[in-house]
Amino acid sequence: MASRGVISEAASLGLHTMAILASQPAERWTNQALADCIRASNHHLAKVMQRLSRAGLVHAAVGVKGGFTLGRPAADIRLLEIYEVVDGPLDSESCLLREPLCDGERCVLGEAVLDIQRRLRDCLAKTTLAELARGVAVRRVEVAAKEPAGALLGDFI
């Protein structure tokens, strides 16, 4: 199903988690740690990570020292690829509303909506994950009350 130009929660989760992984390429992150870091549903994020894994954008290692790492160098991944793996093709020629009110030719917003959508697509297509990750600062903090002693959870700073 093609997206209507709105960044869905799933696409947002994908973009955020990929930025975290790119900002710390030597670290392995569990799904739970990533979910805690971005304050997301562990279950919903697991579905997103499964899509990213199937596309080869992340590598999932199982076991005690398991977790997610990038599947390719961040410089080789465009944000549009992440978006489309999670949400399907970004259609830059249709209404932003999930249920369009008009046929587009009589839109009260005129060409503005189409221009915004084209700009979003162009921005995602030209921006690499490495560029996005440069602005990401992530730290892992201990949360003794929520996890066993010494467990590490991520948190954006």
Tens digits of per-residue pLDDT, 113-149? Answer: 778 888 999 999 999 999 999 878 765 544 433 444 3
Model confidence, pTM: 0.79
Query: Is 118 or 67 the better-scoring residue by pLDDT?
Result: 67
Q: Which residues, other chains included, contact 20 with Cβ-Cβ below 8 Å and sequence gap of 6+?
A: 29, 34, 37, 38, 136, 138, 154
CA-to-CA dists, residue 9 to 47, 57, 66, 104, 146, angstroms: 12, 18, 26, 26, 25
Between CA 34 and CA 13 the distance in angstroms is 10
* Annotated domain spans of the chain: 9-91+128-156
Q: Considering the domain 9-91+128-156, what is its CATH architecture?
A: Orthogonal Bundle (1.10)
